[in-house]
Structure formats: structure tokens, C-alpha cells
């Protein structure tokens, strides 16, 4: 089961060779590979009439200038594949970033020139206005025959990085409009396998708009079993030919937390006035489920606690020890 875009691409590219050694959704990998890159993903979304913010795949500075001349800012830039910037040279300003947000056409061109040092092909997109709590995550599994055998919906409370990152805290949510929109889209594609769709309701017009599609098992998908929908297990049963009765979410109330994302982002939310101590405590009220903390897996827990300790210590040091002024 792919858990990263690079694995989606690898399976799609070498499915014929891999199928002799691995069991996977062979009739679904071609579409998953197409959805795994932003360029083809947005083309597919547009072709099927899915609601999107103004989005364009860019290959040159001239195209950037053209887009910026009529864009409504703020806008963001992101790589065609999520890990492209992560493996940029150590000194590159975009290394490790998922997106870059700009507030003018001039800044858009400036950041594109930086991005072009890694790859000239990127995606530019107008930002969907509204708070992070307006974001929804549709998690699903479709059988090899194209039937939905499991699905649930979550609302994001915080992300890392703030606003444009991966969810660090989510909670179960019911939104029939979003559920229908995502389900109809995947059925039209004849989709098979695991899929996550991230949406947001634009505060300017109240419309749901697609942020991105992840044709794989995502970090947020770890929350699904706690809602009574074990997506990975359903997918496995379908792959081995077992009959699967479609499952929907139960009514339990909980927060699913990825500590290694949430602890570093809390300071950003508080510093921006978007999170109070009362709201923070509320988000950690039981019942809770964790992506990266379990007393039954002490090795993982110890490793993540050490990682969190370094993060927290680094934030404390940066807070109390001011940066030295640059020497002229």
C-alpha cells in the first residue's frame, strides 16, 4: 500500500514487473499515478468539472507573469510532486517546503525563479480563503470493481506548517455535500484503491473547492480506524478476494493528533492569535488517538518523544536567545 507520492509513481511505472512479487490494486495504479502528480491531477479534476481555485501548471517565467497579471492574491506555488523541494540542495531557500505563498505578481515571479533552480515545472494556484478549520479530509477505499467499501470525513483543526501544511489535529465531521462531491468524482474515474481528498469551503463564496488529491494511504488516514473504518484492512481484504461489506463511520467523538506536527505548530498559531490556551486544552480533551504515540510501541514512542524534545528545546532557545545582528 503506497504511503508516499514517490511510491505511487514507482508502482505505476513498474506495475508489470512488481506484480510478480507484490499484491496491489493493479487495475487502479495507472489512475493513481496520474493523480500522483499535480500537473495531471489538476487536469483530471478540471476535466470532470470539480470545483477548484484558479490553478495552472507553469513551465516558464513568461507563463508566471501571464498568470500573475490577472490573479487574485495571495497565491501559492508548489512542486508537481510533494518531495521535489525536500531534496533540494541544503542551502536552497525552498528546501523542505511544501508550498510558498506570495502576495503580489512581483513576488510570484521572484519565487518562481528560485523554484526553477530545482524544476522549471511547478503549479501556481490562488489561495482558498478561510480558516484552517474550514478544511475537510475525505478518506476512502474503493474495491477493484470500483465500489466504495469504506469512507469517512474529518475536519482539520491545525496544520503544520500553519495554513498550508499537513493536518496535525483532526476530528470526525459529517458533510453530505463534500461526501457526495468526492464519491461521485472517484466513481466517474472508475477509481480503485485508497484515496484521500482534501477540500476547503471558501469563505468568500461558501463553495467547497478541492485542495488536492492523494491517491494513497496518508497520515490522516490513520484516523479512520478510530472512527470505525479500517481502510487499510478493507483494502487488503478486497485485494485477496474476500467479500467486503461497505462500512461507514460510527458516531464516536475524538481528536486524532500527530504530535511531531502539532507541537511545533502550536507556537505559530498562538503567535498569530489563532489559538488560545483554552482552545489548545479543548483540542487535547479525551478521547484522543495518536499517529505517533503508543504505550504499546515503546520504541516508536521513545523516538518521537526525543524528536519532540529537540523541537521544543530549539523553540525555547530561539525565543530567549536573540539572533546576532549581521556583520556588515
The CATH number that applies at residue 114 is 3.30.1490
139 and 37 in a common domain = yes
Q: Residue 108 sits in which domain range?
A: 55-126
Does 87 reside within a domain? yes
Which residue, of 109, 126, 143, is where some domain finishes? Answer: 126
234 and 140 in a common domain = yes
Does 249 reside within a domain? yes
Q: Which residues pair with 171 in a beta bridge?
A: 155
pLDDT in tens, 132-170: 999 999 999 999 999 999 999 999 999 998 998 899 999
pLDDT at 140: 98
Does 70 reside within a domain? yes
pLDDT at 172: 97
pLDDT band (50, 70, 90) for residue 319: low
Does 244 reside within a domain? yes
The pLDDT of residue 312 is above 80: no
CA angle 99, 102, 105 (to 5 degrees): 130
Please give the grid coordinates belonging to residue 117.
Answer: 533552480
Mean pLDDT value of segment 78-90 = 81
pLDDT at 328: 36
240 and 147 in a common domain = yes
The number of distinct structural domains making up the chain is: 2
Does 116 reside within a domain? yes
202 and 176 in a common domain = yes
Mean pLDDT of the chain: 90
Does 81 reside within a domain? yes
Q: Which of 314, 302, 200, 325 is nearest to 267 (CA)?
A: 314
**Cβ 192 vs Cβ 299: under 8 Å:** no
pLDDT in tens, 100-128: 999 999 999 999 999 999 988 999 999 99
63 and 41 in a common domain = no
pLDDT in tens, 240-258: 999 999 999 998 899 999 9
163 and 25 in a common domain = yes
pLDDT at 307: 74
250 and 154 in a common domain = yes
**Cβ 85 vs Cβ 95: under 8 Å:** yes
206 and 105 in a common domain = no
**Cβ 175 vs Cβ 234: under 8 Å:** no
Mean pLDDT value of segment 183-193 = 96
Pair type for strands 148-160 and 208-214: unpaired
Which residue, of 126, 147, 166, is where some domain finishes? Answer: 126
Q: Which of 239, 202, 303 is nearest to 28 (CA)?
A: 239
168 and 25 in a common domain = yes
CB-side exposure of 58: number of CA atoms within 13 Å?
29
Does 190 reside within a domain? yes
44 and 78 in a common domain = no
**Tell me, what CATH number does 15's domain have?**
3.30.470.20
Does 99 reside within a domain? yes
250 and 211 in a common domain = yes
149 and 104 in a common domain = no
Question: Length of the chain in residues, anyone?
Answer: 328
Pair type for strands 193-201 and 75-79: unpaired
Which residue, of 79, 102, 126, is where some domain finishes? Answer: 126
Residue 93 is given by DSSP the state: T
Amino acid at each position: 500500500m503506497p504511503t508516499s507520492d514517490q511510491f505511487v509513481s514507482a508502482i505505476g511505472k513498474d506495475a508489470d514487473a512488481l506484480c510478480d512479487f507484490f499484491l496491489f490494486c493493479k487495475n487502479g495504479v495507472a489512475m493513481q499515478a496520474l493523480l500522483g502528480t499535480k500537473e495531471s491531477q489538476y487536469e483530471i479534476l478540471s476535466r470532470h468539472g470539480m470545483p477548484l481555485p484558479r490553478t495552472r501548471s507553469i513551465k516558464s517565467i513568461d507563463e508566471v507573469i501571464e498568470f500573475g497579471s490577472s490573479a487574485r492574491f495571495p497565491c501559492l506555488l508548489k512542486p508537481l510532486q510533494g518531495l521535489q523541494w525536500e531534496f533540494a540542495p541544503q542551502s536552497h531557500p525552498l528546501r523542505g517546503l511544501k508550498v510558498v505563498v506570495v502576495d503580489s505578481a512581483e513576488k510570484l515571479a521572484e519565487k518562481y525563479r528560485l523554484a526553477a533552480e530545482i524544476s522549471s515545472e511547478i503549479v501556481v494556484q490562488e489561495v482558498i480563503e478561510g480558516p484552517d478549520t474550514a478544511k475537510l479530509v475525505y478518506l476512502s477505499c474503493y474495491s477493484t470493481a470500483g465500489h466504495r467499501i469504506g469512507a469517512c470525513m474529518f475536519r482539520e483543526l491545525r496544520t503544520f506548517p500553519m495554513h498550508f501544511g499537513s493536518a496535525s489535529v483532526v476530528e470526525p465531521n459529517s458533510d453530505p455535500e463534500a461526501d457526495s462531491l468526492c464519491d461521485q468524482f472517484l466513481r466517474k474515474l472508475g477509481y480503485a484503491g485508497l484515496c484521500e481528498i482534501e477540500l476547503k469551503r471558501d469563505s468568500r463564496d461558501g463553495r467547497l473547492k478541492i485542495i488536492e488529491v492523494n491517491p494513497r494511504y496518508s497520515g490522516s488516514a490513520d484516523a479512520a480506524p478510530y472512527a470505525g473504518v479500517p481502510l487499510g484492512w478493507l483494502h487488503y481484504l478486497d485485494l485477496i478476494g474476500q467479500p467486503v461489506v461497505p462500512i461507514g463511520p460510527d458516531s464516536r467523538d475524538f481528536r486524532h493528533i500527530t504530535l511531531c506536527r502539532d507541537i511545533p505548530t502550536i507556537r505559530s498559531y498562538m503567535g498569530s492569535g489563532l489559538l488560545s490556551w483554552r482552545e489548545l486544552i479543548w483540542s487535547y480533551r479525551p478521547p484522543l488517538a495518536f499517529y505517533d504515540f503508543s504505550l504499546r510501541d515503546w520504541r516508536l514512542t521513545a523516538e518521537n518523544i526525543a524528536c519532540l524534545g529537540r523541537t521544543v528545546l530549539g523553540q525555547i532557545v530561539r525565543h530567549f536567545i536573540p539572533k546576532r545582528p549581521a556583520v556588515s
